[in-house]
Amino acid sequence: MESLKVGIIGFGTVGTGVFKLLQSFNNIEVVKIAVKNINKKRETENLNKEILTDNPYEIVNNPDINVIIEVAGGVNPIFDILKKAIENKKHIVTANKELLAKRGSELFNIARENNVIILYEAAVAGGIPIIMPIKTILCANKINKIAAILNGTTNYILTKMTEKGLSYETALKQAQELGYAETDPTGDVEGYDTAYKLSILSTISFNKKVDINKIYTEGITKLNTRDLKSAKELGYRIKLIALGQVLPDGKIDVRVHPMLVSKKHLLAKVDNATNSIMLSGYPVGDLIFTGAGAGAEPTSSSVVGDLLVLASELETGNSPLPQAVCKHNEAAEQINIADTYNEYYISITASNNPGAIGYIGTICGKNNINISTIMQNGINEDNTAEIVVITEKSKESDIQNALKELSASESVKNINNLLRVMN
Q: Which of 406, 397, 395, 280 is nearest to 343 (CA)?
A: 395
- List residues bridging with 289 in a β-sheet: 277
Cα separation, 71 vs 185, in Å, equals: 19
- Say if residues 160 and 168 touch (Cβ distance below 8 Å): no
Rounded CA Rg of the chain: 24
Cα separation, 85 vs 90, in Å, equals: 6
CA 179 vs CA 71, 173, 175, 185, 296: distances in Å: 18, 10, 6, 11, 11
Cα separation, 414 vs 358, in Å, equals: 17
Instruction: Answer yes or no: 197 catalytic.
Output: yes
Largest interatomic CA distance in the chain:
82
**423: burial class by Cβ within 10 Å (0-12, 13-18, 19+)?**
exposed
Cα separation, 118 vs 42, in Å, equals: 29
- Say if residues 267 and 286 touch (Cβ distance below 8 Å): no
Cα separation, 164 vs 272, in Å, equals: 12
Cα separation, 43 vs 45, in Å, equals: 6
Residues near 317 by beta carbon (within 8 Å), at least 6 away in sequence: none
Tell me the three state secondary structure of residue 354. coil
Q: Which of 102, 197, 208, 239 is catalytic?
A: 197
- Say if residues 195 and 177 touch (Cβ distance below 8 Å): no
Q: What share of the chain is helix, strand, coil (3-state, %, to 5)?
A: 40, 30, 35
Catalytic residues: 197
